Amino acid sequence: MTRENTAVAELSVADRYNVIDVDSHVTEPPDLWTSRLPRHWGKSIPHVVTDPATGRERWFIGDTKLAAVASTAFAGWREFPPAHPPTLAEADPAAWNAPDRLVRMDEYGLQTQLLYPNLLGFNAHILLTMEETQLALECVQAYNDFLVDFSSISPHRLVPLMMLPYWDMTATLEEMSRAKDIGHKGIVFGADFSAIGLPGLLDEYWSPLYAQAQDLGLSLNFHIGISARTVEGMRAFQRHVISDKVTFAKESALMMIGNASSIADVTLGGVCERYPELKFVSVESGTSWLPFVLDSLDWQWLNSGGHDAFPDRLLPSEYFRRQIFGSFWFETTMLKQALELFPDNFMFETDFPHPTSLSPGPASYADQPREVLERLSSLDHTLLGNVLHDNAARVYGLD
């Protein structure tokens, strides 16, 4: 081994690879929409009200109470989730401030982060209930503009992913093109739109979106929890997880394998067949369970006569290898086997700054990302390059 190769080998995994984190979140600042939307919308604009009794900052749209502003900013917090900072001022500033985010990324050994929403993603259902559809559209556009501004400090390290006004397909297609033109690299997509009254993934309603996303080279990212609950369902979920740690643990764990249904839909239902260049990503959902799901889908497809009925279609696992991707962060038991089975399909994430993120703190079970990455050091060099950088670079069109 040459002196140069020896020096490279002695570097940590984080320093050896330009690590791409394919799932992180930006906690939206309180003035995101009030500073960007026309004042004539009044209280209908998403805004923040501080509860004088508790000092907690909470989002409102009109008189509808939504999530607490810092409810997603758990990184480094002193209490176990679902407890969270009452205000953004008490949260890790990297959750919402771009310069601080870059500092934290350097500390964690991350070259690049893809950026997902919080309020607009997990409360997207509220936009469907707005009487003013134009305001709902402007809320989406303002968020997409904000994320580009947030990323502008370092566009090669902070990568925005767009939200779309899914209730209006014409507006969706227009916003998809606009957002791509200003720098967005992928689409935040819901795993179960039927939960909020929109058609399921196999409905023809989505065909124009699939076709244009394929043409523009934009991936569809099934992020768990996005567009998955109605207003009432979200409130019920929040009541349960806040009051019961058993429910919090159960719901958090099982939610991560919820994307199995979406993967089954697009592989069995002909979507991957019709759009062979379109990429789908299962986000914040782990990887080790996927080999079994794919074995099961293949077996059931053959056992039910699906191949005889549709002889031109591939097996679900073959579509998966061709155009579907997954992400991992904390799992250990079967991770090595999963990565070796699908070296071109899996990618690394941190989920910063959510409860399950790799964000060590006084009340966190998580290890620092550098430590998690170092545990992968025994993997083959090419495999490491794939899962830490190359696969993500290919999916999102990154350098």
Fold of 3-31+93-396: TIM Barrel (3.20.20)
For 382, the enclosing helix (H) or strand (E) is: helix 381-385
Which residues sit opposite 221 in a β-bridge? 188, 281
- CA 333, chain centre distance (Å): 23
Beta-carbon count within 10 A of 27 CB: 25
Quote the pLDDT of residue 1.
43
Q: What is the mean pLDDT of residues 37-51?
A: 94
What type of residue sits at position 398? L
What's residue 131's pLDDT?
78
Please indicate whether residue 8 or residue 104 has the higher confidence score (pLDDT).
104
Cα–Cα nearest to 345, from 268, 305, 286: 286
Asked whether the predicted pLDDT for residue 389 surpasses 50, the reply is yes
The model's pTM: 0.93
Looking at the DSSP assignment, which residues form a beta bridge with residue 219?
186
Judge whether 139 and 37 are in contact, CB under 8 Å.
yes
- pLDDT on residue 157: 98
Sorted by where each begins, the domain ranges of the chain are 3-31+93-396
**Is the per-residue pLDDT at 308 higher than 80?**
yes
Percent of the chain at pLDDT > 70 equals 93
Burial 367-382 (b: 16+ CB within 10 A, else e): ebbbbbbeebeebeee
Alpha-carbon span 121 to 252, nearest angstrom: 17
